[in-house]
Amino acid sequence: MYLLSIACVILMTGVLGFVSGMDVGNLFDGISLLLLLLFLIPMLVSGGLLKDFNNAFRLGIGKRQPASLMELKRAKEAVSLAIKVSMAASTFIGVMSSALVLFVVDDLASLGPSMAVSLIVLIYGMGLVLILLPLKSRLNLKIQEFINEKE
């Protein structure tokens, strides 16, 4: 069922791009994606939650049973941190790159495409959030189920 949320994000991006007449192939910007990951991974490492973020996928999507309630709570906290960092980092990168574009623009005809590229990181960040939200909900349910089993 988790793959459904990923498919939904991809499908809706394609539909919105098609409806607007934009070439969906123009939505890929490797540098923006790299910058977002360069924010996300060090933040998870500095929070001590990178391993727990990996476990979140195994616990939330896979059939792996949690060893303890603490393991589930740490996985949920890692996903929550990833959601917050993704929103903050994509906004920060988008605004900074937009400011840089506005600062160096010479030709007004190039302003639109340049701004579109600088704001693609917001699409990536919010797409990641949309993908991680169902995982967070599944972890919440697993926490509740774990507590009910122990009672």
Render pLDDT for 57-98 as a digit per residue (tens, 0 to 9): 888 887 778 889 999 999 999 999 999 999 999 999 999 988
Q: DSSP letter at 23?
A: -
| C-alpha–C-alpha distance, residues 62 and 38, integer Å | 27
Rounded to two decimals, the pTM is 0.83
* Alpha-carbon separation of residue 27 from 31, 47, 138 (angstroms): 12, 31, 29
Give the distance from CA 109 to its chain's centroid.
32
Collect all residues with Cβ–Cβ distance below 8 Å to 81 and sequence separation of at least 6. 43, 44, 47, 49, 53
Q: How does pLDDT run across 16-58, given as a tens digit for each residue?
A: 666 556 665 566 677 888 888 999 999 999 999 999 999 998 8
Pure H helices in 21-150: 30-46, 50-60, 69-104, 111-150
